[in-house]
Structure 1
Amino acid sequence: MDAAEYKHVVLGLLFLKYVSDKFEARHTRLGELVKDEGSDYYMPTHEARQAVLGDRDEYTAEGVFWVPEGYRWADLRKAAKQTDIGQRIDAAMEAIERENPSLKGVLPKNYARRELTPATLGGLIDTFSRDDLAAAEHEGVDVLGRVYEYFLAQFASNEGKNGGEFYTPRSVVSLLVEMLRPYNGRVFDPCCGSGGMFVQAEHFVESHGGSRNDISVFGQERNPTTWRLAKMNLAIRGIEANLGAEWGDSFHNDLHPDLRADFIMANPPFNISDWGGEHLADDPRWRFGTPPPGNANYAWLQHMLHHLSPTGTMGVVLANGALTAKDCGQEAIRRNLIENDMVECIVSLPSKLFYSKALPVSLWFLTKDKSGRGRVPHRDRRGQILFVDATALGRLESRTHRVLSDDDLSAVSTTFNSWRGLAGQGSYRDVPGFCISVPTESVAAAEYNLTPIRHIRVAPERDGYDPHGALNGSLGHAIDHLERAASAYVSLSEKLQALTIDSGEDLNSFRLSEVATMIRRGITPRYCEPEDPEASRVINQKCVRDGRVSLAPSRWTQPPKRGLEERALQRFDILVNSTGVGTLGRTAQWRGRDTVAPITCDSHVSIVRPDSRMVDPTYLAIAVRLAEQEIEDMAAGSTGQTELSPSALGSLELRLPSLVTQQRIGALFAELLDQGDAAIDFGALTQELCLAYVRLVDSGQVQG
């Protein structure tokens, strides 16, 4: 079962554990109160005490869900080893929904399916029943909430592109919250995913001495599965939110038509072309211009502005293409936003912050009133736009993911709020290479280009450039990489030495088509420039070499009229060159995953999608590569024009061990390949380190 399905199994059980724990804690407390003669709850008889303990209102008044007897976590724990545990969990979910109308249609109820064995479910129940989890929760530590967020992040990482539909990384959300500072008022997210913006907003309020009741939460989400995730995520934190009676498309079924929010925070899907804009040409929300049907970026901005209060502020994550887009009326909309003084600040973010977005992204902050007359005093910022270049911030947590530190968050948020003139944030000043406040006339003179580096002065290398700091930074990255690599190499060495192969195991013969869910040629590309807001990478046969996929020779294409979604690369797809002198038959496995625009292949490359129910994808990729010569020999055609059809490729005969053996060996292969990729990254890091040394010598600041 892949992460997209498994997350609902885990998160649903975690939610069930949470509501049961809260119910039992309230039940225990009431049991103490009804026996305490000094308490307003004191009851002299057993019958009266039982009546209080069974009074649903005593629980719901404290924000505790009612969990009927027989369906509580303790009941499931007792039955964890029973063969019908799946049916019992489904029954518990149905009972909790039935007793709590706000949860109707929210909880997963498919635990009785065949692929979820009693051993698997029982193991999860035992794991979530650990005493330390319950003890910490009773002490007021938000352990289950943290575990829920941890799983959301891990599942988002594993799902790659699809993960971005329900989870925005915590450091990005924290930056938005720290910059907007939603102390009190109405908070809105029209594409709320799993509700992470609301969770961080509530944390911000409480960490600054406020109460969660100081903010009112409104949201909308069009994906029904993600909407349910948000309902559970907020319920597990005790956050009351109006996410609508059901899921709905913000553009075509606005569930909060009369809402005017004080704060809007959102990470909408980038560059979507199928948002139905052609049906909304005369919509009153398009005050600054009608957004193009082929790209919803400026539709999102105007939809949010429509819902913003007269003195409210909004922060939105968008792909960098929106900063300069000129086609289909987008430049005119941006010009109108700037000339009407709606744009307050633009922040360029570093790469690799998102699990699902490889495109460079920026934060947009818009407001309807820069005069400073809002509920929180600000200085008059009319006619000014703040630009911040934060692309140098953050640290790599892994090869594919970067996080922003608390210092990074403070550097950007303090810059923004000191520029706005908030009390206690210090005085603002331009910092070469990092931030600048620019008159809107200057932005107009720059053809309404909102790219921060277009306006920020570069810091001179001999005036403000710290060669020692640059060297120490590069050296620190190199040492950190070597330490992590050394630990990984020791672990891999031990695993390799312990690896045993049963020479007596029977091998089974399969055709490639029997162990793959798809074997298709790539698309016919329509090449374009990478700056095109709809551009997607397209891999050609030059990219497939030595078992690896290199993006260096790849090009960019506009989406084809059909077929892109099916042929968008998924992690562990196997690529096979189907044509080309000297390249025919080469194979490689696609191991990337952090992209927002789909990556696909051109028609000279075939995509083989392994069926993980039949074969380990990593093992299969190595087995297919071992057959490269045989694959080349299967091609048909005249000299120089030979090509390999998908049907011929599907007939490739492979001899494979059992799935268990494949998975055991494949897991080790995957670790080895990941270390190989890390070594390639280290090569680039060493070049950076050498350059830093030479710059230090050239600066004349060498210290002995």
Structure 2
Amino acid sequence: MSATEPVPVSLAEIARIAGVGRAAVSNWRRRHDSFPTRIGGTDVSPQFSLAEVERWLRENGKLDSIGGRELLWPRFEALGSRDESGLAIAEMAHRMHSPRAGGSRTELTAEAEKLAAEAAKLGRKEGMRETFEFLLQRWLETHVRQLSTTPPPLAALMARIAFDARVGRTGEEVDEKLTVLDPACGTGHLAAAAIQEGASSRLSVLACERDPALAALASARLEFLMGGHDVRAEVATADALREDPFSGGRVDVALCNPPFNERDWGYAELATDQRWTHGLPPRTEPELAWVQHLFAHLKPGGAAVVVLPPAVASRKAGRRIRGSLLRTGALRAVVALPPGSAQPHSVSLQLWVLRTAPDGAAAVPPAQDVLLVDATRFAKAGTRESGPHWEPLRAFAVSALEALDRPEAELPDGAVRVPLIELLDDEVDVTPGRYASVTAEPSGLELAAAWKETETVLTDLARRAEGLSELRFSTDRPQTTTSVGDLVKAGALSLRSGQQPVDGSTAPGRDSVPLLTVADLLADGTPSGLVAAGSAPVIVEEGDVVVAGVVRAYRAWVHEGPPTALGPQLYALRVDSAKLNAHFLAGCLRAPSNGRQAGTHASSSSRVDIRRLQVLQLPLREQEAYAEVFRSLRGFEARLGEVGDLGRGLVRDVSDLLAAGGLGG
């Protein structure tokens, strides 16, 4: 985009800039003749000039309490490519630290350089690190299909485990000097966590990333952290497996969240590499190449923690390497994480804890077993919760791994020491769930946390009930309705029918999106599969209305969260916000009587004719009032479900404790 072309923004982006809901922006557009005219997009998704929108918002007093960061992001996004915008954000960070530095560290267009300079000036006024992290997060959200990141709680847990697992560690001594390696650092989440978790030590952080934009952003992120810590950081741009920039170097701690399922990782050209001390990784096992790469860089007594998909623990192709890692004592523990801990979110990922032998055979007892830890029970109940219960998960995992070198220590429920002789069979399967059984009895800490969470939810539920109980209804005024089919004809919404993905693929990948099916709705509502974005005919975005078109699973809601592919019998409705409120539409469609009347047969397996569903005919202003009540009712329903789940769990746990004679005096 040239400097003379206007920067386009959508209604949703205008809402974020002004700090209001999208419905408010639609109201402004309808009520004020002076609101900027559309410069692009469609009637359903119009686009406006950022400069004109900013001018209008300022003239009408809509930007009084909003900072300039929200106005920056559309300009970065308008640069066009993912790499250009990412490199410009990194350059902005560099200029904030060095205002007088001449020229950029990367090749940027003149427009990108100018934007980086202007953003740096704003960042120095509004907070340098806050501005950088804000723009980085928006960049990551925009390109979520192409990028895989390590959530900060998981990164912190991995760093803590690795620091604690070193042989001969000196605890909290501040004069300790340690070197940390992340050979596939992305935007630097793990390296940043290592700096924060190892704040009592003097750290040298070595990181590597083959994507230049990600490497530049990681370098910028670490630069912010070096100011408050005794840290030296170096980020190299290279493929660590093919061109290891730190070859021959040894580190105390290694952390990695490597790319999964990459067949082109260098199998042929690296066949004789000296790193493969436990065997040449098969072409189909790139994760085991990363495991050995980490291990090859560890000092004696050093520790590494790596995130791996669960199949690596049991696939036949990697059996020989797993066996060697066990026999030599390199693989010391495996922790199974709850689904949702990191991408791909539908999979229960694992942490492998590796360690090299110390200098001096008597430092720790020789490995006779492996610690297997099943932490999958810390998954959050519910359909739209993101991530597990991180605090109890961290406490449990750290507590279990404290017993790594103490054979006499009692293990928490869900952790078990498995003798090597049991693992070194024909399968060499190190999946924790096969060996670590979890009883129903919670710890005192877990029980107290559950009661506290239940109390909080009940309080909120009572508050919501009080508000809804004040609603008054009048049946005197007959209301007219219209059908979804008529609304489609009038251009008030578009209707798309979900389908089976073209290739049926559900393998995780960088361009994959969650796949939602009717079967998922009948279970817990969470998408159970992944599909390549290009093979999914219908993908819903945030703000679309989704309807399940079968009576037994009938429901309707406004989609929130990442883009999601829809399977058969699911429908996506995208509204024209100038004519329809999405939450009003979903509320009308969600009425059970609506679904029954539009059903093609009387049985629960019958389909719902989406075009026959009825919607109240109301002006947009009245729709918004209804929408607020519909949203309140939806929130009440969600809280009610949470109370049910929490209450049933507490009744079960307390009943077991009572039946076991655990009542105190």
Using structure 2 for the length normalisation, give the TM-score.
0.62
Taking only aligned residues, the RMSD between alpha carbons, in angstroms, comes to 6.0
Shift of 1:608: 5.2
DSSP 3-state at the match of 1:230: helix
| 2:351 equivalent in structure 1 | 363
Q: Is the 8 A contact 2:123 2:131 kept in 1?
A: no
In 2, the alpha carbon distance for the partners of 1:389 and 1:583 equals 35
**Structure 1, unaligned runs of 5 or more:** 11-76, 134-143, 422-426, 498-502, 544-548
Relative to structure 1, the CA distance from residue 694 to residue 667 in structure 2 (aligned partners, 3 Å threshold; closer, same or farther) is same
| 2:659 equivalent in structure 1 | 698
| 2:302 equivalent in structure 1 | 312
In 2, the alpha carbon distance for the partners of 1:496 and 1:151 equals 43
Deviations along 1:363-407, one digit per CA (max 9) or x if unpaired, are 21112x234549xx94133343222344456999994344443x8
In 2, the alpha carbon distance for the partners of 1:634 and 1:411 equals 49
Counterpart of 1:176 (choices 156, 159, 166) is 159
In 2, the alpha carbon distance for the partners of 1:3 and 1:450 equals 50
| 2:54 equivalent in structure 1 | none
Q: Aligned AA for 1:475?
A: W
DSSP 3-state at the match of 2:223: helix
Q: Aligned AA for 2:209?
A: E
Q: Is the 8 A contact 1:575 1:588 kept in 2?
A: yes
Pairing of 1:25-104 with structure 2 (within 5 A): 93=92, 99-100=100-101, 104=105
| 1:400 equivalent in structure 2 | 386
DSSP 3-state at the match of 1:243: strand
Q: Is the 8 A contact 2:516 2:565 kept in 1?
A: yes
Relative to structure 1, the CA distance from residue 689 to residue 190 in structure 2 (aligned partners, 3 Å threshold; closer, same or farther) is same
Pairing of 1:214-233 with structure 2 (within 5 A): 214-233=202-221
Matched, 1:521 2:499: yes
| 1:69 equivalent in structure 2 | none
In 2, the alpha carbon distance for the partners of 1:3 and 1:305 equals 50
Q: Is the 8 A contact 2:545 2:558 kept in 1?
A: yes
Using structure 1 for the length normalisation, give the TM-score.
0.60
Deviations along 1:113-157, one digit per CA (max 9) or x if unpaired, are 9xxxx9xx99x969964xxx7xxxxxxxxxx65x57985998699
Q: Aligned AA for 1:420?
A: D
Shift of 1:343: 0.4
In 2, the alpha carbon distance for the partners of 1:178 and 1:453 equals 20
In 2, the alpha carbon distance for the partners of 1:225 and 1:518 equals 36
Deviations along 1:207-252, one digit per CA (max 9) or x if unpaired, are x3x3xxx3221223345554443233222223542222x4x55455
| 2:420 equivalent in structure 1 | 440
Point out the more displaced range, 512-521 or 192-201.
512-521
Q: Aligned AA for 1:204?
A: E
Counterpart of 1:349 (choices 337, 341, 347) is 337
Pairing of 1:455-494 with structure 2 (within 5 A): 455-456=435-436, 472=448, 474-487=450-463
Counterpart of 1:431 (choices 394, 411, 424) is 411
Q: Is the 8 A contact 1:573 1:590 kept in 2?
A: yes
| 2:61 equivalent in structure 1 | none
Relative to structure 1, the CA distance from residue 320 to residue 701 in structure 2 (aligned partners, 3 Å threshold; closer, same or farther) is same
Q: Is the 8 A contact 2:73 2:138 kept in 1?
A: no
In 1, the alpha carbon distance for the partners of 2:401 and 2:312 equals 21
DSSP 3-state at the match of 1:165: coil
Deviations along 1:148-203, one digit per CA (max 9) or x if unpaired, are 79859986997796597234223642453354258533211123233232233223
Counterpart of 1:387 (choices 359, 372, 383) is 372
Deviations along 1:497-525, one digit per CA (max 9) or x if unpaired, are 9xxxxx9xxxx976598866976533267
In 1, the alpha carbon distance for the partners of 2:221 and 2:578 equals 31
**Structure 2, unaligned runs of 5 or more:** 1-8, 19-63, 77-87, 167-175, 474-478, 480-485
Counterpart of 1:602 (choices 563, 567, 571) is 567
Q: Aligned AA for 2:105?
A: K
Relative to structure 1, the CA distance from residue 474 to residue 630 in structure 2 (aligned partners, 3 Å threshold; closer, same or farther) is closer
Matched, 1:193 2:186: yes
Q: Is the 8 A contact 1:313 1:365 kept in 2?
A: yes
In 2, the alpha carbon distance for the partners of 1:692 and 1:339 equals 40
| 1:33 equivalent in structure 2 | none
Q: Is the 8 A contact 2:400 2:411 kept in 1?
A: no
DSSP 3-state at the match of 2:209: coil
Q: Is the 8 A contact 2:313 2:429 kept in 1?
A: yes
Relative to structure 1, the CA distance from residue 156 to residue 493 in structure 2 (aligned partners, 3 Å threshold; closer, same or farther) is farther
Matched, 1:416 2:377: no
In 2, the alpha carbon distance for the partners of 1:346 and 1:666 equals 48
Pairing of 1:268-667 with structure 2 (within 5 A): 268-269=258-259, 271-273=260-262, 282=271, 284=273, 288=278, 296-309=286-299, 311-326=301-316, 329-354=317-342, 357-367=345-355, 369-371=356-358, 373=360, 378-391=363-376, 399-405=385-391, 409=394, 412-413=397-398, 415-417=400-402, 419-420=404-405, 429-431=409-411, 433-445=413-425, 447-456=427-436, 472=448, 474-487=450-463, 521-523=499-501, 539-541=516-518, 549-552=521-524, 563-564=534-535, 571-576=542-547, 588-589=556-557, 591=559, 593=561, 600-607=565-572, 618-619=583-584, 621-622=586-587
Q: Aligned AA for 1:334?
A: R
Relative to structure 1, the CA distance from residue 299 to residue 571 in structure 2 (aligned partners, 3 Å threshold; closer, same or farther) is farther
DSSP 3-state at the match of 2:187: coil
In 2, the alpha carbon distance for the partners of 1:496 and 1:127 equals 52
DSSP 3-state at the match of 1:521: coil
| 1:242 equivalent in structure 2 | 234
In 2, the alpha carbon distance for the partners of 1:194 and 1:218 equals 13
Q: Aligned AA for 1:190?
A: P
Identity, % of aligned positions: 18
Q: Aligned AA for 1:387?
A: L
In 1, the alpha carbon distance for the partners of 2:140 and 2:523 equals 21
| 1:37 equivalent in structure 2 | none
Deviations along 1:562-607, one digit per CA (max 9) or x if unpaired, are 84467566555544557x7x579x563474758xxx9644344445
